[in-house]
Structure 1
Amino acid sequence: MAKDPVCGMDVNEREAAAKSEHAGETYYFCSPGCKVEFERDPHKYLGEGHAHHPHH
């Protein structure tokens, strides 16, 4: 299992709604919206550990 860096949800890599590559790592997302948020500002999510947002 992977962890969605935006909302913190566990995501099955084979069933992820979206994925993105950043700095040689692949990140998996529970929804396309989380991928958009991540790509807008990846350092915001990678630097803070677990980011929790009220939209989930």
Structure 2
Amino acid sequence: MGKAIDPVCGMEVDTSTQYKTIYKGKVYYFCSLMCKRAFEANPEYYLTHGPQGMPHEH
């Protein structure tokens, strides 16, 4: 299994995770559904600013 960095929180995650999404032809992997939802809501923010730590529910 490969490793990837969660673009939202910066954690190392296994590429076998169920939490993943494709954005502009690239696959991104997440440690949790919360990180996946945060990325999908504003992918350019995380790609521009880098990992921001765990997102918080509002």
Give the match for residue 28 of structure 2.
Answer: 27
TM-score, normalising length from structure 2?
A: 0.82
Is 2:19 the partner of 1:12? no
Higher helix content, 1 or 2: 1
- The total of aligned residue pairs comes to 54
For structure 1, the residue ranges without an aligned partner over 5 or more in a row are none
Instruction: Say if 1:24 and 1:54 are closer, same or farther in 2 by CA, change over 3 A.
Output: closer
Deviation of residue 27 (structure 1)?
0.2
TM-score, normalising length from structure 1?
A: 0.85
In the TM superposition, structure 1's runs of 4+ consecutive aligned residues that sit over 6 Å from their partners are: none
CA RMSD of aligned residues (A): 1.4
